[in-house]
Amino acid sequence: QNPVRPPSGGADFVVVANRLPVDRDTSGDTPQWTTSPGGLVTALAPVMRENSGAWIGWAGVPDEEIAPFDVDGMHLVPVTLSAQEIINYYEGFSNATLWPLYHDVIVPPEFHRAWWESYVHVNRRFAQAVALEAAAGATVWIHDYQLQLVPALVRALRPDVSIGFFNHIPFPSVELFAQLPWRAQILTGLLGADLIGFQRPADAANFRRAARALLSVTSRGNRISVPADSEAGTEAHVAEARAFPISVDTSALDAQAREPEIIARAAEIREELGDPELLLLGVDRMDYTKGIRHRLKAFGELLADGLLDPEKVTLVQIATPSRERIDQYQQIRSDVELSVGRINGEFSEVGIQPIHYFHHSYPREEMTALYRAADVLLVTALRDGMNLVAKEYVACRPQEDGALVLSEFAGAADQLTQAVLVNPHNIDGLKAEIVRAVAMDPREQRRRMRSMRRRLFREDVQAWSQSFLSELEALDADKDRTSAI
């Protein structure tokens, strides 16, 4: 399938994200692009195909100018990043300044002027790419914390387009956000959008409060009056900031979990693990926000207390490699590996190993089989925008059994209210709730799982993108009427 390429400036729908949804496969004779199947692609690919869309982002290779190309019916427009920009804009400002600051300073954010300058530069480059690709009156949807200046930059270059922004990670309280030396620029950048989406209502409220406190703008309900900015070259407008909780492709995951090969693989996984009576699972990027250390501490203590029996219980912990050049990520990996080694060293016997730890990633089918195999999923994030893993587990339980232990600091706790909710900082409480999930009456498990599944079938990732885009469209239609609030 090779649809007609939109000419430059011909895209009615433009997605902008740090990364293009593809990876370069260099294993064959000629390098090929393969789509990396993530939630965002699932949600947006159909909209892109219906609307002559374009996706703007970095292709994942440094210092290389790559011409736009088409994959799976999507028109992809690469933005070039130099090796130095990857260090300053991506690893530096995005992942060592904004990421920890927006996740409640679990580790201290670093503020460096050279990183900020690179962030500004790269955001300008993205905005220029949008200005070139977007057709007159197009819809532009910008994603995530790496690109917070893009909305206002696009508004200045292309006042005709409709601009949405979605923040995939939390937005911190103003008391923390105020530390950022460039807080006013970031808020002004975001306020360039017509619609600013967040995972939780609390994130949207934090943003509105920061805008009022630090920029002195006025707001009513979800709407913020943004004054004209002669320096930036933008007119006055109204921006709406509210929650649009992201979700998963529930029916696709459910269907995959029902495939005979997946069911067989799930049984095989349990067998290969030595047929434990109880299989606990953790799936995370190796990131200090995910609370992997807290989870291991609780698990280790439960073994020591004799409340979990290593002969009967196995924990599978997958921690996929992430941001490995950043110090704090090397640190969390060492901490996790030390803890896994200690617990296994203490409680293993020949043929018995309480923790199976994997520091690599798996194909989607294997993930689905693992979700299907696990009796209990442990999500103990210290702060997490949403946490799709929790939703994927629920979607992959067609038999309506299994229990989900879920941190109240993950956005998913707003929708998955029937999970066993925990505060991962409270190790005694976490231990008690793990025991509760493990011992839960199957009828109660079923009642809870059924209710969570029902909600996820209604509130899937397609519903998420549709509700965001239709609100953006409604705001656009309403523009003249709401130029003042």
Using CB under 6 A as the criterion, which residues of the chain lie in contact with ligand GDG when the complex forms? Answer: 39, 168-169, 246, 283, 285, 318, 320, 361-364, 367, 384-389, 392
Q: What is the CA radius of gyration of the chain?
A: 23
Q: Say if CB 273 and CB 279 are below 8 A apart.
A: yes
CA 476 to chain CA centroid, nearest Å: 27
Give 56: exposed, middle or buried? Use CB within 10 Å, 0-12, 13-18, 19+: buried
Looking at the DSSP bridge assignments, the partners of residue 24 are 33
CB 195 within 8 A of CB 224: no
Quick one: 243 exposed, middle or buried, by C-beta within 10 A (0-12, 13-18, 19+)? middle
The C-alpha atoms of residue 65 and residue 80 are separated, in whole angstroms, by 6
**SS3 of the chain: helix, strand, coil, percent, to 5:** 45, 20, 35
DSSP H or E stretch at residue 28:
none
Torsion sign (Cα): 269, 272, 275, 279:
negative
Q: Would you say 82 or 320 has its CB closer to ligand GDG?
A: 320
Task: Report d(CA 407, CA 324) in Å as an integer.
Answer: 25
Contact 222, 241 (CB under 8 A): yes
463 burial type by CB count under 10 A (0-12 exposed, 13-18 middle, 19+ buried): middle
In this structure, are residues 394 and 376 in contact, taking their beta carbons and an 8 Å threshold?
Answer: no
Q: Whole-number minimum distance, CB 36 to ligand GDG, in Å?
A: 9
